Structure 1
Amino acid sequence: MTQSTVNRKAGLLRGLPLLAILICAALGAFFLRDYLSFETLRENHEGLASFRDENRVLTVLAFVGVYVLIAGFSLPGATIATLTGGFLFGVFPGVLYNVLGATIGATAIFLAARWGLGDMLAARLRGGDGAVSRIKTGIDDNQWSMLFLIRLVPAVPFFVANLIPSLVGVPLHRYVITTFLGIIPGALVYTSVGAGLGDLFERDETPDFGIIFEWHILLPILGLCALALLPVALKAVRREKGL
C-alpha cells in the first residue's frame, strides 16, 4: 500500500464526523421538524414538568444532552429547546443549561470541521480571494472582536458561525470562550420567554418567536455588536494614521 493511498484513507476517516453531522442535519430537517416543535412542547409540557419535579438531576442531564445533540448535529428545534430550558428550569439556571448545551454542540462541529477538512483544504480556503478569506483577515486582525460579533449578530446562521472559525485557524479555547459568552444575550431572551410559557399554555397562546428582532431587544444586542467592533475600528484608524 502506497503512502498516498494511506493518506487518502486517513483523510476519508477524518472526514467521517463532519459527513455524519451533515447527513444528520439533512435527515433531521426532513424527519424531525414536526417533532421538535412548539406544538410538541405544548402537548407534553405537563409530563415534562412532572418528570422534572420527580427527577431533577436526571432532567438536567437529559436536557443538556439533548441540546448538545440538537446543536452538534444542526437539527431543527434549537429555539424550542431554549424555550424548553426556560420552561423547565426558569431564567436561571435555565439560561446556563441552554448556553452549556449549545456551546458543547457547537464545539463538536468546530472540531469535526477542523479535523475532517484537513490542513490542506483549510489552507486553500484561507488563501483564496473569496468571502472566507476576507473573514479570515478580519478575524486575524482582532480575533476576539470578530468571534464575538458573529455570535451576537442574530442573522448569522449558527452552523456558519461554527464552521468558519474552524477553517481560519482560531484556537479552540478562544472559540469556546467567545461562543459561550457571545450566545448568552440571545439565549437569555428566549430562555426568559420560555420561563413564562406556563401562563401562555393556560391561556392557549403562542409566544412571539420574533421577539429578538423587536427594537427594545435588538438595540442592546446591536450595542454589544458595536462594542465588539470598537477595537477593530480603533485599529483601522491607527493604521490609517500610521500609529
Structure 2
Amino acid sequence: MNLKILFKGLLVIASLVALGYALQASGLGSSIDKTWIDSDIRGKGLTGDLLFLAVGAIATAIGMPRQVIAFLGGYAFGFAEGSALALTATVFGCIAAFTYARLLGRGFVVSRFPNRVRKIDDFLKDNPFSMTLLIRLLPAGSNLVTNLAAGVSGVGAVAFVSGSAIGYIPQTVIFALIGSGITIDTTLRIGISVVLFVISGILGVHLYRKHRHGKSFDETVERQIDGADA
C-alpha cells in the first residue's frame, strides 16, 4: 500500500478518536438540548444565531441526527426562522463531512474498499443531483455515512451538496414545526407533522424505486424499505 495513503488513513482514524475524546470530555454530545437553547441561544441576537449555526453544523457533521437540529431550531427561533437556520446548519455539516472525507480519507478508503466506492459511484454518476435528492428524501439511512461515502466517491461536490440541500427541506420543516411554539394546539401540530413525515417518506420511497433504474445505494436501506412493505 502507498505510504501516503496509509498515513492519511491513520490521520483520519487518529482525528476521529481525538474528536471522540474531546466530545466526551466537553459533554457537547449530551448538552445540545432545550436547556442549552434557553441559556445560550434564545434572545442572544446575531450571536445566538451564529452559535446555533456553528454547533448545529459540527453536530450534524459528526453524526447527530439532523432532525434533532431541526427540532431545536424550531424551538429556539420559531417555525420559519428555525427551519432556515437548521437547514443552513445541516448543509454546512454536510459540506464539512464531505470535504473531510474527500481531502483526508479518499485515497485510503478507495484502496481498502474499492467495490463499495464503485457501487456509490455507479449509483450517483449519471445524474448526481437527482440521485442525491432521492437519497435525502428517503425516511431511512444515515446522513453521516452518506456524506462520507459521497466524499470518497467521484461525485461532484456542487451536485451532491445542492441535491442534499433540497432533499433536506421536507424533514427539516417537519421537525422544526414539531419544535416550534406556533399558536396551534400541540397535539394538532404534532399530528400535522406526523402526517407530513409519512407523506414525504412514501413519496421518497416511490421516487427512489421509480428512478433508481435497478441500482442500489445501500443494502441496509433496501432492507428497511422492503420491510416497510411486509
Indicate whether the TM-score tops 0.5. Answer: yes
Q: 1:240 aligns to what? A: none
- Residue 110 of structure 2 contacts residue 117 of structure 2 at CA under 8 Å; is this kept in 1? no
Q: Does the aligned pair in 2 maintain the 1:99–1:184 contact within 8 Å?
A: yes
Q: In structure 1, list runs of 5 or more residues that go unmatched.
A: 236-243
CA–CA distance in structure 2, aligned partners of residues 22 and 182 of structure 1: 30
1:52 is aligned, of 42, 48, 55, to 42
Mark the CA change 1:182 to 1:157 in structure 2 (over 3 Å): closer, same or farther: same
Match of 2:91 in 1: 103
TM-score normalised by the chain length of structure 2: 0.73
Q: Which moved more, 1:136-145 or 1:88-97?
A: 136-145
Q: Which one has a bigger Cα radius of gyration? A: 1
Gaps of 5+ in 2: 216-230
- Separation (CA, whole Å) in 2 of partners of 1:103 and 1:72: 9
Which secondary structure state, in structure 1, belongs to the residue aligned with residue 42 of structure 2? helix
C-alpha separation in 1, matches of 2:92 and 2:196 = 30
1:186-219: CA deviation from partner (whole Å, max 9, x where unpaired): 111111111138999xx9x9x97x997x455222
- Tell me the distance in 2 between the aligned counterparts of 1:233 and 1:78: 28
Q: Does 1:151 align with 2:121?
A: no
| Pairing 1:217-236 to 2, within 5 Å after superposition | 217-227=197-207, 229-233=209-213
| Amino acid in the other structure paired with 1:149 | L
Distance (Å, rounded) in 1 between the aligned partners of 2:86 and 2:13: 23
Residue 180 of structure 1 aligns to a residue whose secondary structure is helix
Deviates more, 1:146-155 or 1:10-19: 10-19
CA-CA distance at 1:145 after TM superposition: 2.9
Aligned length in residues:
213
CA contact (8 A) 1:125 1:132 kept: yes
TM-score, scaled relative to structure 1: 0.69
Amino acid at match of 1:183: Y
Kindly provide the CA deviation profile for residues 73-105 of structure 1, in whole angstroms up to 9, marking residues without a partner as x.
33x475443222112221112111111111111
User: What is the CA deviation profile of residues 135-176 of structure 1, one whole-angstrom value per residue up to 9, with x for unaligned ones?
Assistant: 332222432232112212222111111111112211111111
Q: Distance in 2 between matches of 1:230 and 1:175?
A: 20
Choose which of 47, 51, 54 in structure 2 pairs with 1:65. 54
Give the Cα separation in 2 of the matches to 1:182 and 1:152. Answer: 5
Paired-residue identity, %: 22
Change (3 A) 1:133 1:172: same
RMSD over aligned Cα atoms: 3.8
